[in-house]
Structure 1
Amino acid sequence: MDKVNVLLIVTVISILISLILAFFLLTVKTKYKTSNVLFAAFLVIAAIDLSEPLFSLVVDGPSNLGMLRTTLAFLQIPVFYLYVVSVCYSDFKLKPKYLLHLLPFLIVNIVLLPRFYTVDAASKINFITNRQDMIELQFIHILFHIQFVVYFVAVFMLLKKTKKLYLENNAGTHINSYNWLFQFTVVLTVLYSVALLKNIFKFSDYPYISEWIKFGILLLQPFIICWYLFKALNNPDLFRNVDSKLKLVSEIILEEKDNEQSVVNEEKYNEELLKLKKYMMEEKPFLNPSVTIQDISENVQIPTRELSVLINHQLGQHFYDFVNTYRIESAMEILKDVSKSKVTILEILYEVGFNSKSSFNTAFKKHTGNTPTQYRNSLQVSVL
């Protein structure tokens, strides 16, 4: 089996997987419909981009449809960016302003109108044959590099901010899904970086290297899509508990300073801190796996803004870590209780408010320096 046949088989497999997953996302019943639609759109555009080997079998030579298929690459990254925004923010809605993300795609196709879209077949062939000298194609490749850098920097900044917002306002385990969303973004960044390298070689004196890179990308594509599908099915509740109107504590502190207001005086700080600690010990809100800072704010009657500053700034802890400290202390009490020696680690983590073994182990080790099992074993040894 030669390289061309392998390429065609891999292309067909990748396209089928992408379209099947897109169909699933569009038809499955879920409250996260917008996110599903955006990722389905990303998969469909990616499938069209992958279809070049098949397209070249059907269409002989350069064509308007072929060029349009190529320029659809300018929609992939913006759609992925909007998908990440929709996953991070629980109140995300598609708005007319998001149509601005179409601008690079429209600009590129307008640039190609005079010397490609509106000319005859012979002129199209000449345009592609002499692509290294065509200013339009040089402009397109520069624009794509700029778009790549701008959007992926924006995605990583968004993920960093929403993770911090989540830690400052929530204590659930949705934070775990952030990790794989971050991983997926890293994988895509590497994939697009390789694709850019392919394009650089395509316009150099070594175009055959570009062909081998393209072959490698097509081989990797189905594995990446399958990996994403596996992760998505194992993380149905994505990182969606952040409201876009929330502000970081650092921003709140800066606003307070600009307004020449003290965040909270010492006496009020001590009073609110005692009130908060008493509530945490007596009512044990941390046993609720999905407790938020808003929930506690309502019950202790401290405004959310002040409570956020109190925990995240004055105590120097994220709300996520603050709540987990109480959960771990509660777990340690259970582990110390000889009458509960038969209770499993899994039962304990659910009892104290965790619903993920990995997050429980991470938090426990961060707090005690040991895993729950090591801690229990050390207690048993000390008794002996």
Structure 2
Amino acid sequence: MKFHLKIKRLLLSIGFTLFITNCFSMTAIDVAQLSDSYNLKYGVLDFLYFYVALIGFYVAIILNFTKNTDRVSTSLMSGFILVHAFFILDFVLYNTNYQLKYAHTYLMSASVALLYGPLLYFYFKRINNQHKFKALDALHLLPTVVLLFFLFPLYSLPLEEKMKIQLGTSSVYTESSFFYIVFIPKLVSLIIYGFLISKNHLKSTKSKLYKNLEAIAFWKKGVYRMHVLFVVSYFIYGISISGLFFNAYSFIYQIVVVAMALMVLYISYMAQVQPKVFSKEIILKNTEFFSKYQKSGLTKSLSNELKQNLITLMVDHKIFMDNSLNLESLSEKLETSRHNTSQIINEHFNMNFFELVNKFRVEEAIQMLKLSDKNTQIIDVAYAVGYNNKVTFNKAFKKETSLTPSQFLKSVNEK
């Protein structure tokens, strides 16, 4: 009630001023129509956006309390989703006119407008290159500090003055006063960091490091593509508000918000169903890989040759069926050192020796079970593919197929 009275007083003040200035050109009906345009309003989309913002705040907090995660990359992603949620909430307040009621929230998301790029850029550097922060990296925060310096006069204004800015009656600032101070630096920041992120991401996709980690590859690709969608939509929005080619900024701005909402929902979904994308082991495994083999003298040509020889031994000669096979005997067959054999398996298959052997043994067992009959004994299949006992076989089989050998055999016989 107090809010409406305050708005009416301001709007009547506008009406009176224009009345004197324009010689009775503004009537009471005009003032009433103007008043209606600033009443609180909300629709289905506003509720959905608000719900997404709440999800974003929740996930940003939960990520920091999740166990067995890399604290650096998790904090970066938490900050990234928090910025998105903050912006979406700001949009909801603006679209429903609640920003006029709570005028101190005016342009609140502008304070973090230049953090989108740096947060995601350093997240990708962390998970792809195991980046360790240095004092020099703090320079990436300098644009945000400068922006806050320019925004401070606005944030320090009294409540009624901020309401007047939004109503267009302020003698201090207009709504466009801070528009280009925020918009242009944000667009430039998104483009620059978008290029840096693309360069880092595309380079990592050529690496064999994530070859068999489909969830990780899917996660990174999804975040990258959605960020590209956001940057492109924001760029088109900028062209639209300039009026150079077309003027549809209201519709395009909705696309910008939708792009951010999709990012929040995607990150939240992956945090729930694929928590291993935040796992500490992902970072540690990659770090161990680089530190262990960075001084290796294995050339690229020899590496590829040994890989082909290894595939021949496994596929054609099926040496994995020998239950005495170990890293030493495999190295002898490849006529190379244990170190080189281990590197080949890690580098080209993204597995260790035991994981590789188990994979081939389970695949062979699957083929044998498909051709078996009701009298087939599981232990016989286990021995045939190279296992010494049924327990180890069951464990390896279930890890690869999510079924025990008995369950798999039953499903085959039922067909």
Give the number of the structure whose alpha-carbon radius of gyration is greater.
Answer: 2
Match of 1:26 in 2: 64
Tell whether 2:364 aligns with 1:333.
Answer: yes
Match of 1:233 in 2: 272
Tell whether 2:290 aligns with 1:246.
Answer: yes
Could you tell me which amino acid in structure 1 is paired with residue 286 of structure 2? V
User: Per the alignment, do residues 265 and 79 of structure 1 end up closer, same or farther by CA in structure 2, a change over 3 Å counting?
Assistant: closer
Q: 5+ residue gaps in structure 1?
A: 257-261, 287-299, 358-372, 378-384
Match of 1:181 in 2: 220
Match of 2:43 in 1: 5
Number of paired residues? Answer: 315
User: Per the alignment, do residues 356 and 70 of structure 1 end up closer, same or farther by CA in structure 2, a change over 3 Å counting?
Assistant: farther
Deviations 1:145-176 (A, max 9, x none): 332233233323333444544x25x78x5343
Q: For residues 23 and 265 of structure 1, what CA distance do their matches in structure 2 show?
A: 48
- The answer (yes or no) to whether the contact 2:90–2:105 under 8 Å persists in 1 is no
Match of 2:248, SS?
Answer: helix
Deviations 1:40-77 (A, max 9, x none): 22222212212334544455499896345324121122
Q: For residues 328 and 245 of structure 1, what CA distance do their matches in structure 2 show?
A: 21
User: Per the alignment, do residues 79 and 332 of structure 1 end up closer, same or farther by CA in structure 2, a change over 3 Å counting?
Assistant: closer
Q: Which moved more, 1:213-222 or 1:229-238?
A: 213-222
Match of 2:123 in 1: 83
Q: For residues 319 and 352 of structure 1, what CA distance do their matches in structure 2 show?
A: 19
State the percentage of identical aligned residues: 14
Match of 2:348 in 1: 318
Match of 1:292 in 2: none
CA RMSD of aligned residues (A): 5.2
Match of 2:86 in 1: 48
User: Per the alignment, do residues 265 and 27 of structure 1 end up closer, same or farther by CA in structure 2, a change over 3 Å counting?
Assistant: closer
Tell whether 2:247 aligns with 1:203.
Answer: no
Match of 1:36 in 2: 74
Match of 1:242, SS?
Answer: helix
- The answer (yes or no) to whether the contact 2:124–2:197 under 8 Å persists in 1 is yes
Tell whether 2:195 aligns with 1:157.
Answer: no
Q: 5+ residue gaps in structure 2?
A: 1-39, 328-335, 382-391, 403-408
User: Per the alignment, do residues 64 and 4 of structure 1 end up closer, same or farther by CA in structure 2, a change over 3 Å counting?
Assistant: closer
User: Per the alignment, do residues 176 and 51 of structure 1 end up closer, same or farther by CA in structure 2, a change over 3 Å counting?
Assistant: closer
**Deviation, structure 1 residue 179:** 1.6
Q: Normalised by the size of structure 2, how large is the TM-score? A: 0.56
Q: For residues 58 and 300 of structure 2, what CA distance do their matches in structure 1 show?
A: 55
Deviations 1:217-243 (A, max 9, x none): 445654543333222222222253312
Q: For residues 173 and 112 of structure 2, what CA distance do their matches in structure 1 show?
A: 20
1:230-309 equivalent positions in 2, closer than 5 A: 230-238=269-277, 239-240=282-283, 241-243=285-287, 246=290, 263=299, 281=320, 301-303=337-339, 308=343
Partner residue of 1:351 out of 387, 396, 412: 396
- The answer (yes or no) to whether the contact 2:86–2:109 under 8 Å persists in 1 is yes
